[in-house]
């Protein structure tokens, strides 16, 4: 660890020197670096897909949809929009200070730390990296030890494409992260669990470092079957895809549990079963399209969630586990107890609890008994229910009549609220996430209003009262010929 400490100190010193040189402030430099990330992903598609397969058994199609394609689009949007994002924003000032001028400029924070997760190790590393570079920062990236092949690819390949004096990559786990957190950073961007998010925030507090925490939680899916019945096949496929079709439920915005009216349960279960078979065949373990569970610890964690006898009794499909093959069968539960661990911990795996209510309106009350989720999904065409969900619940985002696609829309901010996260990114939100918005004001020496200065008197008070009444003050300036 001593060697690692020296590496970290040397990396930080060099990144700070590079930032101080001003090189990263050049939009040309930023675009060149982001373009290099684009080329790196394009040049190494096979290596990246192989790394994701080695780490997670992730199929190359899923890997391209959720990772490579996401990064390529993020890079393209950043390069195309950076000039616009970086333009100072002029501000309308109170007439009292006329003819002073105001604007806001986006200033890079400086030297930034990015800590990412294992489930989408390429996109969750490179997306924030692109944002940090777009904003003009130097960056150190530490991806997750639980995706060793993807982490090794990033550590080996990024230096071959990017400015190594500005962009550093370190492999390692909690021990390395702990060393990193002992240093002062100008911004920390963390993707991971709320538990570790608290550690990150506590470490950042020592230096008053701003943080973005991309965390997780239990994303509910309401299905109001009365109003979506003519599209029920799409609804069921989207729910199944939102659980088993993206890293096998190991995603922060996966469908965690479903809320439906009791009368609809048999139909939903009967439609989910053939849908799973249509996705993964008769034996999903051999399908090749279903990502593996990350490691034995997570298999044992999922096994523990299922071990509650009351949960065991709620299994209506699946339930088999093969720890050696890091496999948990796509599993459906019907009404596991709301006080069971599986209904109070982020599942982060291929188990789908179906919770039934008498009236779908009761779903809101159940959702509000839990921490604010990263996403809420609701399949409904009932505008009143939509309005209630939007006004009576709080979450990072709400998606009606689909799941997970919000992640791929760079015009929408991606982030949580409460336990599910602090801050947001994607698209321009990434640029803003890694920028300090600095207020600039330029006063005029040409005109000095005595009313600004003592001695105070009623005339000055009247003048100041008027000045806060912008319309009157504008009239006065026009009459005095001081403003056209
Ligand atoms: N909001 C989002 O975009 C996403 C959120 N997540 C959330 O992340 C969690 C799963 O990801 P994991 O990687 O297992 O999370 P994690 O919190 O265990 O690890 C995340 C990162 O923190 C580091 N880390 C672990 N222990 C640490 C410690 N004691 N001190 C400092 N750093 C430490 C890890 O090396 C890794 O780089 C889930 O809760 C999931 O919902 C996952 C992906 C995306
Ligand atoms: C579809 C890609 C989602 C990535 C973020 C997550 O849910 O873990």
The full DSSP string for 313-356 is TTEEE---EEGGGTEE--EEEES--TTSGGGTS---SSEEEEEE
194-205 vs 174-181: helix axis angle to the nearest 10?
30
Average of per-residue pLDDT values in the chain = 96
Among candidates 259, 266, 269, 268, which has minimal Cα distance to 357? 259
Asked if 130 and 159 count as a contact pair (C-beta separation under 8 A), the reply is no
User: Are β-strands 101-108 and 435-442 bridged in parallel, bridged antiparallel, or unpaired?
Assistant: antiparallel
Place of tokens 């998010």: 197
User: Please, which pLDDT band fits residue 459 given cuts at 50, 70 and 90?
Assistant: very high
For residue 96, pLDDT over 80 is answered with no
Among candidates 189, 259, 247, 246, which has minimal Cα distance to 218? 259
Asked if 452 and 403 count as a contact pair (C-beta separation under 8 A), the reply is no
The per-residue pLDDT for 463 is: 87
The full DSSP string for 112-181 is EEEE--SSSTTHHHHHHHHHHHHTT-EEEEE--TTSHHHHHHHHHHHHHHS-TTTEEE----HHHHHHHH
Say how far apart CA 253 and CA 346 lie, in whole Å: 10
User: Please, which pLDDT band fits residue 483 given cuts at 50, 70 and 90?
Assistant: confident
User: Please, which pLDDT band fits residue 482 given cuts at 50, 70 and 90?
Assistant: confident
User: Please, which pLDDT band fits residue 475 given cuts at 50, 70 and 90?
Assistant: confident
252 lines ligand 2 (CB under 6 A): yes
For residue 91, pLDDT over 90 is answered with yes
Say how far apart CA 392 and CA 398 lie, in whole Å: 12
The per-residue pLDDT for 409 is: 95
Active site residue 214: yes
The per-residue pLDDT for 57 is: 97
The per-residue pLDDT for 474 is: 81
Ligand 2 centroid to Cα of residue 251, in Å, is: 5
Low-confidence winner among 103-112, 235-244, 411-420, 449-458 (lowest mean pLDDT): 449-458
Per-residue pLDDT tens digits for 427-453: 999 999 999 999 999 998 888 888 889
Mean pLDDT of the region 274-287: 97
Mean pLDDT of the region 75-87: 98
ipTM score of complex: 0.95
Active site residue 252: yes
What tokens appear for 230 in the block?
């003519």
Asked if 332 and 318 count as a contact pair (C-beta separation under 8 A), the reply is yes
For residue 220, pLDDT over 80 is answered with yes
Say how far apart CA 265 and CA 225 lie, in whole Å: 10
For residue 422, pLDDT over 80 is answered with yes
User: Please, which pLDDT band fits residue 471 given cuts at 50, 70 and 90?
Assistant: confident
Per-residue pLDDT tens digits for 288-298: 999 999 999 99
Per-residue pLDDT tens digits for 342-376: 999 999 999 999 999 999 999 999 999 999 999 99
Mean pLDDT of the region 313-324: 98
For residue 302, pLDDT over 90 is answered with yes
Atom of ligand 1 nearest to the CA of 217: 41
User: Please, which pLDDT band fits residue 69 given cuts at 50, 70 and 90?
Assistant: very high
Residue ranges in 22-111 assigned as alpha helix (H) = 27-43, 45-56, 60-63, 69-86
The per-residue pLDDT for 468 is: 84
Among 61, 193, 407, 413, name the best residue to mutate to test ligand 2's pocket (greatest count of ligand atoms within 8 A of Cβ): 407
407 lines ligand 2 (CB under 6 A): yes
- The percentage of the chain sitting over the pLDDT mark of 70, rounded to a whole number, equals 100
Among residues 252, 261, 346, 419, the one annotated as catalytic is 252
For residue 184, pLDDT over 90 is answered with yes
Q: Whose CA is nearest to atom 2 of ligand 1?
A: 214
404 lines ligand 2 (CB under 6 A): yes
Which domains are delineated in the chain?
A: 1-214+419-447 (3.40.605.10), 218-414 (3.40.309.10), 453-483 (no CATH)
414 lines ligand 2 (CB under 6 A): no
Asked if 219 and 373 count as a contact pair (C-beta separation under 8 A), the reply is yes
Residue ranges in 183-224 assigned as alpha helix (H) = 194-205
Per-residue pLDDT tens digits for 17-68: 999 999 999 999 999 999 999 999 999 999 999 999 999 999 999 999 999 9
251 lines ligand 2 (CB under 6 A): yes
Atom of ligand 1 nearest to the CA of 194: 39
Asked if 281 and 316 count as a contact pair (C-beta separation under 8 A), the reply is no
Mean pLDDT of the region 259-286: 98
For residue 89, pLDDT over 90 is answered with yes
User: Please, which pLDDT band fits residue 111 given cuts at 50, 70 and 90?
Assistant: very high
Mean pLDDT of the region 83-99: 90
The per-residue pLDDT for 101 is: 94
Say how far apart CA 77 and CA 57 lie, in whole Å: 29
């Amino acid at each position: 660890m001593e060697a690692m400490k020296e590496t970290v100190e040397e990396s930080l010193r060099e990144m700070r020197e590079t930032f101080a040189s001003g090189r990263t402030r050049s939009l040309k430099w930023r675009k060149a670096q982001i373009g290099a990330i684009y080329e790196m992903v394009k040049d190494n598609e096979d290596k990246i897909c192989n790394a994701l397969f080695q780490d997670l058994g992730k199929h190359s199609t899923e890997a391209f949809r959720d990772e490579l394609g996401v990064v390529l689009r993020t890079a393209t949007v950043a390069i195309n929009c950076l000039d616009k994002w970086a333009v100072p924003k002029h501000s309308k000032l109170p007439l009292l200070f006329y003819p002073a001028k105001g604007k806001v400029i986006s200033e890079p924070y400086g030297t930034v730390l990015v800590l990412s997760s294992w489930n989408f190790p390429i996109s969750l590393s490179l997306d924030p990296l692109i944002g940090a570079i777009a904003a003009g920062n130097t960056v150190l990236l530490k991806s997750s030890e639980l995706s060793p092949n993807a982490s090794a690819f990033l550590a080996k390949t990024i230096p071959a494409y990017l400015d190594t004096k500005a962009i550093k990559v370190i492999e390692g786990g909690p021990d390395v992260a702990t060393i990193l957190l002992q240093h002062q950073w100008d911004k920390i961007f963390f993707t991971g669990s709320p538990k570790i998010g608290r550690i990150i925030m506590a470490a950042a507090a020592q230096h008053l470092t701003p943080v973005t925490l991309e965390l997780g939680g239990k994303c509910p899916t309401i299905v109001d079957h009365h109003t979506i019945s003519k599209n029920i096949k799409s609804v069921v496929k989207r729910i199944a895809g939102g659980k088993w079709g993206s890293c096998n439920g190991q995603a922060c915005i996966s469908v965690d549990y479903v809320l439906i009216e009791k009368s609809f349960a048999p139909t939903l279960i009967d439609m989910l079963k053939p849908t799973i078979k249509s996705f993964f065949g008769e034996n999903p373990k051999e399908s090749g399209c279903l990502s593996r569970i990350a490691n034995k610890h997570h298999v044992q964690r999922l096994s523990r969630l299922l071990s509650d006898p009351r949960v065991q009794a709620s299994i209506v499909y699946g339930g088999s586990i093969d720890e050696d093959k890091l496999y948990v069968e796509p599993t459906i539960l019907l009404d596991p107890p709301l006080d069971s661990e599986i209904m109070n911990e982020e599942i982060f795996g291929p188990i789908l609890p179906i919770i039934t209510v008498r009236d779908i309106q009761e779903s809101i009350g159940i959702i509000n008994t839990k921490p604010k989720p990263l996403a809420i999904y609701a399949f409904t065409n009932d505008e009143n229910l939509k309005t209630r969900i939007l006004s009576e619940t709080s979450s990072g985002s709400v998606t009606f009549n689909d799941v997970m696609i919000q992640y791929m829309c760079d015009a929408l901010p991606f982030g949580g609220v409460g336990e599910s996260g602090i801050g947001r990114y994607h698209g321009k939100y990434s640029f803003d996430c890694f920028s300090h918005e600095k207020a600039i004001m330029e006063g005029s020496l040409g005109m000095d209003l005595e009313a600004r200065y003592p001695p105070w008197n009623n005339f000055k008070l009247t003048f100041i009262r008027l000045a806060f009444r912008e319309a009157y003050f504008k009239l006065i300036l026009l009459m005095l010929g001081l403003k056209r």
